[in-house]
Structure 1
């Protein structure tokens, strides 16, 4: 790397640190690497999930650094392949925080935010990395990006964790910010109570003067009996959004499937960014368990962790519940090390009582992908390479790896006996396309909904 290239990159890091909050800098910038600058194009290595943030938030940083060092416009090219010889640079300067959210002249707000939730203790995996990245972006610059942010997924996957983490991150820098975490059900109850007590205007002011509204399980508002509540929330949403105040919502389904909610509300939910959280894959479940057992006073054999990761695959709450059961049994037995036998004994009742998870098969994936793209399962498995068939085949392979626990060789066998390297190529191809093609991401979310 030339001296000027290093000066350029050091300046990029310095400007980014001044521009961003610390959490956003740590997540989106700290691991990025400058590979080279050729023909006024800077090739930058970073995780693909962070590409959109750079394009939307750091253009001016690159532009400024380019003119300062080279006196020309420098453009960016992003690569997602780890450089052979990564170069680390010393982080410089402390970021400046602009206190734009604080409104001390108003009555304080009871935020209801649980301080045990943070981005640091949110275990990232393939199924939640987009949601985590969007949440960190929102926390770093509330009201200016992804507004509203709409996170959807099944129960126990981390939606509430991310809502609270956003609030806690903002409050680190702006302790006087008016932030409220609330479930949709509680919003309904507070609105009805305000009507009964004649305090509707007070409720209006308390919500419409917020800097950040974090509302959980918005699908609870979707009944025909909630017209007045929906009207109030619609007006609150409009006031906050028009004043560039951040809104984050969670749901168990995508906006278009929120039956019972007025169309105008659903439309507004789609104004910003919609991201999903899917059940954790095996590797993520192992990571979650490894992280959570640090809180327990026992050693866990590695095969015990792997055993538990295979027993509960629907959501994180099942894993947490299993550890509570194990804690009880281990205390009773006075053990120092949790074996597979102890774990199996502890979770037996939970496994019997838990509803059976809907197991997704590769056949189901192939069928739904074929229907969506208008090709047959036979064509997906065959060798024909027209553009529409190749796309359908690669999407099906990608989803087979994302939504099942099957090995690459087994997936390849289910696609006409293909080699595992073919599956991996298809997976990486679609993965890279998703980072740049929002339409493809919407297509995959639609297919996933059909499969589930």
Structure 2
């Protein structure tokens, strides 16, 4: 690690001790150390209004880090990623680095190049190429792709809604990355609604609203996440309404995400809801089993030192059936457990152990024997365990068999192959079919829901 990296890491560590997490995220997380020359650190901020905060609240952190790493009192120069001209960067470079001509020219050129390539707020790792498509996100993916190819003309605004961890943020960033790959000078901005609110409040406090208007109303593409957070924020809604109109009237692309449909956004002015419906509202639903397996197969490529057994992958895909983000967290836990145990093959047992470590509360899963589930289900439906394990296709036996398989999946940590083995050496696909069939039936059949509640009570 270079001395510059050590210095910047130390500044971030000290800032974390001084600030609350939300304050750190807003003022520090987007900041970048560009260079250190002649005891002057050049720091890039995304907004000029944040310089005052750095000059006051964080000056002590910079000085302390400077003495610890370089044994000098570090001075600071600032540049801003939303500046409108490379001349701003050139002036900052000149002021902060002395008059060494060739060195100054090189640094200035590098700063200008970095400015041109800046992707404001966009995470470069989220692209269309690494987005796993499935039935639940196919239309959202197609709409996002169309928007990225022809901003401002196809589906404007594009409104993507769905639950947490399903890929909405990935698609927003993928749009931004695609647009910038086609036109590096495009004015693209990704921002969460919470950060938009924070910026609005800061500009109001500093009486610099013209800067905010200049920043957002002259964009080519605005990508705004979690728009439901705008509820009840009347003054911010007014500003966003005007920003929306300015962009829309100039045929600039707007893409929004939410956890609800536009019509379900309580606390938002009707005129905003109406505009959100002008373009294309499209939803993302939880991925099906096959899509979750595909997502896992892609994610585990990041853990090239580990080999995942197929049944372990299927176990994880069944365990997390609604949130892709939880899948990513589970893989991190599995990697940690594997490192501690010094193993490189991930089995179902290791996956189970790793997932248990994710929850502080003790789990009751896997303490219920499958034969107890079979016994109680058989008692309820009037069939024997032997018949449940057998091959008869009589309706009441098939019903009992599928319910027992469903509960074995729900109440234990056993893999699909293991459950299948306990039901007369059936294939894991048979167990999955039974599980999905009962799950679908529960959504429509209140009587079946009551039956399973009664059986669960007896099992536990």
Is this a same-fold pair by TM over 0.5?
Answer: yes
Distance in structure 1 (CA, Å) of the matches to 2:191 and 2:439: 44
Q: Distance in 1 between matches of 2:172 and 2:285?
A: 16
Closer, same or farther: CA 156–178 of 1 in aligned 2, 3 Å = same
What is aligned with 1:319? Answer: 327
1:276 to 276, 283, 289: 283
Look up the match of 1:242.
249
CA distance in 2, matches of 1:275, 1:317: 20
Deviations 1:198-236 (A, max 9, x none): 11011101100000000000000001xx11110000000
Match in the other structure for 1:374: none
Q: CA deviation at 1:343?
A: 0.7
1:307 pairs, out of 305, 315, 318, with 315
Gap regions ≥5 residues in structure 2: 1-83, 89-115, 365-432, 446-460
C-alpha separation in 2, matches of 1:252 and 1:271: 18
Distance 1:308 1:259 in 2: 36
Change (3 A) 1:215 1:314: same
Q: Following the alignment from structure 2 to structure 1, what is the Cα–Cα distance between the partners of residues 252 and 288?
A: 35
1:152 Cα offset (Å): 0.4
Corresponding residue for residue 390 of structure 2: none
1:408 to 1:227, Cα distance in 2 relative to 1, 3 A: closer
Q: What value does the CA root-mean-square deviation take over the aligned residues? A: 2.9
CA contact (8 A) 1:255 1:270 kept: yes
Q: Tell me, which stretches of 5 or more residues in structure 1 are unaligned?
A: 1-102, 357-403, 417-452
Residue pair 1:183, 1:215 contacting (<8 A) in 2 also:
yes
Q: Per-residue deviation at 1:247?
A: 0.1
Q: Which of residues 262, 278, 282 is equivalent to 1:255? A: 262
Which of 351, 357, 362 aligns to 1:349? It is 357
The answer on whether the counterparts of 1:312 and 1:319 sit within 8 Å (CA) in structure 2 is: yes
Query: Do 1:282 and 1:405's aligned partners in 2 also have CA atoms closer than 8 Å?
Result: no
The residue number in structure 1 matching 2:209 is 200
Per the TM alignment, residue 412 of structure 1 is displaced from its structure 2 partner at its CA by 9.1
SS in 2 for 1:111: coil
Q: Which structure ranks higher in relative contact order (CA pairs < 8 Å, sequence separation ≥ 6)? A: 1
Task: Give the drift of 1:333.
Answer: 1.0
**SS at the partner of 2:185?**
coil
Shift of 1:334: 1.1
CA gap of 1:240–1:256, structure 2 versus 1, over 3 A, is same
Q: 1:178 aligns with which of 173, 177, 187?
A: 187
Equivalent residue, structure 2, for 1:130 = 139
Q: 2 CA distance for matches of 1:340 and 1:334?
A: 16
CA distance in 1, matches of 2:135, 2:128: 16
- Report Cα offsets for 1:156-209 as digits up to 9, x if no partner: 000000000000001001000000000011011101110111110111011000
TM-score (ref. length: structure 2): 0.54
